[in-house]
Chains A and B, each alone.
Chain A
């Protein structure tokens, strides 16, 4: 059965069309939801796409968290509905405290756009269940503020609870360092304790077709399509 996917568009979102297309590629009924909307339109799955919401001149995601739609996203998340934040979406989830930690300016101080090797660690999420634990992927990153930072207590908790979803790894020893931004513990993506809210810096929606270099990112989308039971739409429950 299909899944209804809401891709939230903030002013300044620029990976919204890519996320929508990736979701449609796997057969989802994917639609945009406007930042001023207050309802997710009965969506099963929510994606906060990449971009520069509201220009991100203050701090990435700092304004977007106050968008009207974010109240609905929070209700959906708290009721166990799947939420994936990619890049700017990850930053927004942290700003909204749906995920712990923060994304800071890259250690190298410049924007970094390149493919990076990562491993999938937590696979008990609606976005990574299609991967075997430890699967190596090459996914593109493109960000200026992607350095995951958290207090050592929080980082230890994430490790202890197995909430690291993606981790940067070193590729060929002679090749580049794996971690492109100085993230703590080489963290590229995390989840909440329940696993239904996931934030990642790499862009799986950009590698969904061998013509684009690979289709290694498709698993993030097939995962929620094949999950055992869809989360019931939360819209009615919250009213």
Chain B
């Protein structure tokens, strides 16, 4: 073996020398390079430079976000596993637990929408099943520029197809999520994928390399040259040159993923392995280095043993490849044969590539030559941490003080236009491309407030949602951060489930810009405060910075993935009116907040004003009331009141579920609700802590009593009408009438009619 000292490493013949240019190309600053020299006590080899570049990228190191993230509440009696593992885990009844996580795949999807989105789904699935959990639900949050631009339609269609094809093939139902459109996402689409899995708490496995002398194995696909430096790519702004990054986008193979899923779960439940981790961002490098650091051990890998797709791959390429559908497994040497047999049954190979060592060194050899030898703990922990300057943008402050130009549109036309806006329209065109009923456990399919699944063999169910209203964050990141968590919790509670905890995907621009870092810091403060108020700890997630292109930065978009527990799944409450004659009630009050509203944005093209401050106490009381009312069987429907305000919430409840045979009419009288407000503020204002519920006439007394007990204001607003009947709202001394069939058609067709010729859009425009 060449190299005599424990931390000596040599360059391979023909390898370029490490120059300042090469360091810059690896996205490392000169300060970071100095730190590398300090860690090694010598200059790095090219291989080592690549390893540092990957692990010290923003994507892997969280170097701009770590101090802010530390302020999140992460504990609670329900927490089995908080941040720091592949996924967070919360406790459920009867020895069950739920593992869940959300992650971004924004940059790859911007240049290759189909594969970028597909591999995003693949990655998040692996994060969950490496905890020993069987994936039972997928959600996704997607954002694009407006659909009048062909490039945006192309990205939208490609992403949806990629998400669908991958999840459909593996056989995981997609239960919900969100799709939004705004100019800031032109050139910066966001693709956040969330996965929820179920496990027996006793079978939880952590990604911690243990046991000196244990073997490291790769399981699954061979390693190719795809995705090299994906983690670094995700850590820079997009530009015209990003198109050249297309080869760095990985290619997904959902069939291999399905085999890997079954093989991994079998390996975990059979107790044959010590630890397992997905080779995700930065591939073999991060999976091995992170597992070793968590276990406080060293590892030695011979890249010459890694099965590759093509010959002649260098250790640099093998270490940094992000080829998909690969796992790194740690096991006792005596188990290797049995492990290989399990993998062979699933048509996969398991190949020993290294071992756990006692010297704490991350060591890589290539056919006997030591090409990297780095103190492992320092490799993972010593990345410099930055505390960037934070300063609110003057422009945002000014916009909060503005109001929209006066709108002359009448409320009848305004509601129709809102329902025709892609942001508020039915997303059926999207979720119809996702299998939402595979696994035969879907109780509330996409299109409701939250998705609900049953857990076969138990009485309980899980509610899942993924939410964010970025417009509110753009105007006020602190209140907007609170609002995102509050909306997620309302959605969960509307189904009757109790919010348990969150995962977050924090999508922002370039954190080195003070205005962006201010948004990030304040949004996280808001998220943390809301999570504390609701006792829903943060169990992990993902930070995605640098969502900027020449056309600008995105709105701050921290998407909140939440899971809730429905103790008796038979108590679940749907979002839509259920029967003619039922009473309609509004829970919560309004101050007519139009700041940041969809009404102003969609009808006046104006994003401004002061969003309603979020009353966390009122939100919590509403959640508790909704859960209690569902438990007592008082509700026929419950629907969160958010984007588009009360009028849109009532219309959505009336228009019915995605495949309802007809909408139901409704007669609502708002006399006595929000008195003194302008009509448009009353109808379209977006105050939080509200829900529109329906109930049998006989349950009205009991609900009023329950509301009084929980301190939730209740307003008796009217009654559900006949199938296909009219929606009438009486307010401000007039009666407005809509044909619900017309509303439903408009709302259902808004996206399909814009996407009718999306196949012709192809890759046009930039």
* Partner-B contacts on A (CB < 8 A): 11-12, 14-15, 17-18, 21-22, 50-52, 54-57, 109-115, 140, 142, 144, 171-172, 174-176, 203, 205-206, 208-209, 211-213
Q: Which of B162-170, B293-301, B400-408 contacts the other chain?
A: B162-170
Q: Mark interface residues in B731-766 (1 if CB within 8 Å of A CB, else 0).
A: 000000000010000000000000000010000000
Does the CB pair A52–B169 fall under 8 Å? Answer: yes
Of all chain A residues, the one with the shortest Cβ separation from B161 is A110
Q: A111: which B residues are within 8 A, CB to CB?
A: 161, 164-165, 168, 433-435
Does the CB pair A18–B438 fall under 8 Å? Answer: yes
- Kindly identify which residue among A57, A176, A205 contacts B440, using a CB–CB cutoff of 8 Å: A205
Q: A211: which B residues are within 8 A, CB to CB?
A: 443, 454, 569-570, 572
Q: B658: which A residues are within 8 A, CB to CB?
A: 114
**B305 interfacial contact with A, CB 8 Å:** no
**B673 interfacial contact with A, CB 8 Å:** no
- Tell me the bound Cα distance from A56 to B222 in angstroms: 20
Q: How far is the CB of A24 from chain B (nearest CB, A)?
A: 10
Q: B600: which A residues are within 8 A, CB to CB?
A: none
- Kindly identify which residue among A52, A113, A140, A171 contacts B434, using a CB–CB cutoff of 8 Å: A113
Q: How far is the CB of A180 from chain B (nearest CB, A)?
A: 9
Does the CB pair A212–B169 fall under 8 Å? Answer: no
- Kindly identify which residue among A55, A113, A114 contacts B255, using a CB–CB cutoff of 8 Å: A55
- Tell me the bound Cα distance from A115 to B256 in angstroms: 29
Q: How many A-B pairs with Cβ below 8 Å? A: 107
Of all chain A residues, the one with the shortest Cβ separation from B256 is A55
Of all chain A residues, the one with the shortest Cβ separation from B723 is A172
Q: How far is the CB of A219 from chain B (nearest CB, A)?
A: 16
Does the CB pair B437–A109 fall under 8 Å? Answer: no
Q: How far is the CB of A110 from chain B (nearest CB, A)?
A: 5
Q: B347: which A residues are within 8 A, CB to CB?
A: 11
Does the CB pair A113–B661 fall under 8 Å? Answer: no
Q: How far is the CB of B384 from chain A (nearest CB, A)?
A: 44
Does the CB pair B659–A114 fall under 8 Å? Answer: yes
Q: Mark interface residues in B367-391 (1 if CB within 8 Å of A CB, else 0).
A: 0000000000000000000000000
Q: Mark interface residues in B318-342 (1 if CB within 8 Å of A CB, else 0).
A: 0000000000000000000000000
**B662 interfacial contact with A, CB 8 Å:** yes
Does the CB pair A212–B443 fall under 8 Å? Answer: yes
With contacts A114-B659, A211-B454, A212-B441 taken as known, whether A52 is within 8 angstroms of B433 at the C-beta atoms is no
With contacts A17-B439, A54-B255, A211-B443 taken as known, whether A113 is within 8 angstroms of B169 at the C-beta atoms is no
Q: How far is the CB of A32 from chain B (nearest CB, A)?
A: 12
**B171 interfacial contact with A, CB 8 Å:** yes
Q: A18: which B residues are within 8 A, CB to CB?
A: 438-440
Would you list 18 pairs from A and B whose C-beta atoms are within 8 A, ordered by A residue? Answer: A11-B347, A12-B259, A14-B169, A14-B171, A15-B438, A22-B440, A51-B171, A52-B258, A55-B256, A56-B169, A109-B759, A110-B161, A113-B432, A113-B434, A142-B437, A172-B661, A174-B724, A175-B661
Q: How far is the CB of B496 from chain A (nearest CB, A)?
A: 13
The 9 residue pairs across chains A and B that have the minimum distance between CB atoms: A14-B171, A55-B255, A18-B440, A142-B435, A172-B661, A206-B440, A52-B169, A140-B437, A206-B437
Contacts A111-B435, A213-B442 known; list 17 others, CB within 8 Å: A12-B169, A12-B255, A17-B439, A18-B438, A21-B440, A50-B438, A54-B255, A55-B256, A56-B255, A113-B437, A142-B435, A142-B437, A144-B165, A206-B437, A206-B442, A208-B440, A212-B441
**B469 interfacial contact with A, CB 8 Å:** no
With contacts A21-B440, A176-B659 taken as known, whether A14 is within 8 angstroms of B759 at the C-beta atoms is no
Does the CB pair A212–B168 fall under 8 Å? Answer: no
**B33 interfacial contact with A, CB 8 Å:** no
Of all chain B residues, the one with the shortest Cβ separation from A208 is B440
- Which residues of chain B from 162 to 220 have a CB within 8 Å of any chain A CB? 164-165, 168-171
- Tell me the bound Cα distance from A56 to B164 in angstroms: 15
- Tell me the bound Cα distance from A164 to B254 in angstroms: 33
With contacts A17-B439, A21-B440, A211-B454 taken as known, whether A55 is within 8 angstroms of B254 at the C-beta atoms is yes
Q: How far is the CB of A54 from chain B (nearest CB, A)?
A: 7
- Tell me the bound Cα distance from A213 to B662 in angstroms: 17
With contacts A52-B255, A174-B741 taken as known, whether A113 is within 8 angstroms of B435 at the C-beta atoms is yes
With contacts A211-B443, A212-B442 taken as known, whether A112 is within 8 angstroms of B255 at the C-beta atoms is no
Does the CB pair A14–B165 fall under 8 Å? Answer: no
Q: A22: which B residues are within 8 A, CB to CB?
A: 440
- Tell me the bound Cα distance from A115 to B428 in angstroms: 12
Does the CB pair B255–A57 fall under 8 Å? Answer: yes
Q: A206: which B residues are within 8 A, CB to CB?
A: 437-438, 440, 442
Does the CB pair A11–B258 fall under 8 Å? Answer: yes
Does the CB pair A12–B258 fall under 8 Å? Answer: yes
Does the CB pair B439–A203 fall under 8 Å? Answer: no
Q: B570: which A residues are within 8 A, CB to CB?
A: 211
Q: A57: which B residues are within 8 A, CB to CB?
A: 255
Q: Mark interface residues in B230-255 (1 if CB within 8 Å of A CB, else 0).
A: 00000000000000000000000111
Does the CB pair B759–A115 fall under 8 Å? Answer: no
Q: A115: which B residues are within 8 A, CB to CB?
A: 659
Q: How far is the CB of A108 from chain B (nearest CB, A)?
A: 10
Q: Mark interface residues in B252-296 (1 if CB within 8 Å of A CB, else 0).
A: 011110110000000000000000000000000000000000000
Does the CB pair B438–A55 fall under 8 Å? Answer: no
**B74 interfacial contact with A, CB 8 Å:** no
- Tell me the bound Cα distance from A175 to B741 in angstroms: 10
Of all chain A residues, the one with the shortest Cβ separation from B454 is A211
- Tell me the bound Cα distance from A208 to B164 in angstroms: 25
Does the CB pair B741–A113 fall under 8 Å? Answer: no
Does the CB pair B253–A55 fall under 8 Å? Answer: yes
Q: A212: which B residues are within 8 A, CB to CB?
A: 437, 440-443, 454
Of all chain A residues, the one with the shortest Cβ separation from B445 is A213
- Tell me the bound Cα distance from A171 to B661 in angstroms: 8
Q: Mark interface residues in B420-450 (1 if CB within 8 Å of A CB, else 0).
A: 0000000000011111111111110100000
- Tell me the bound Cα distance from A17 to B441 in angstroms: 11
Q: How far is the CB of A174 from chain B (nearest CB, A)?
A: 6
Q: B698: which A residues are within 8 A, CB to CB?
A: none
- Tell me the bound Cα distance from A112 to B759 in angstroms: 17
- Tell me the bound Cα distance from A50 to B253 in angstroms: 18
Of all chain A residues, the one with the shortest Cβ separation from B457 is A21
Does the CB pair B433–A113 fall under 8 Å? Answer: yes
Q: How far is the CB of B570 from chain A (nearest CB, A)?
A: 6
Of all chain A residues, the one with the shortest Cβ separation from B170 is A14
Does the CB pair B432–A112 fall under 8 Å? Answer: yes
Q: How far is the CB of B78 from chain A (nearest CB, A)?
A: 24
Q: B433: which A residues are within 8 A, CB to CB?
A: 110-113
**B346 interfacial contact with A, CB 8 Å:** yes
**B456 interfacial contact with A, CB 8 Å:** yes
- Tell me the bound Cα distance from A115 to B259 in angstroms: 28
Q: How far is the CB of B566 from chain A (nearest CB, A)?
A: 11
- Kindly identify which residue among A54, A142, A172 contacts B168, using a CB–CB cutoff of 8 Å: A142
Q: How far is the CB of A109 from chain B (nearest CB, A)?
A: 7
Q: B442: which A residues are within 8 A, CB to CB?
A: 206, 212-213
With contacts A21-B456, A206-B438, A208-B440 taken as known, whether A144 is within 8 angstroms of B168 at the C-beta atoms is yes
Does the CB pair B169–A11 fall under 8 Å? Answer: no
Q: How far is the CB of A209 from chain B (nearest CB, A)?
A: 8
Q: How far is the CB of B427 from chain A (nearest CB, A)?
A: 13
- Tell me the bound Cα distance from A185 to B438 in angstroms: 27
- Tell me the bound Cα distance from A205 to B456 in angstroms: 14
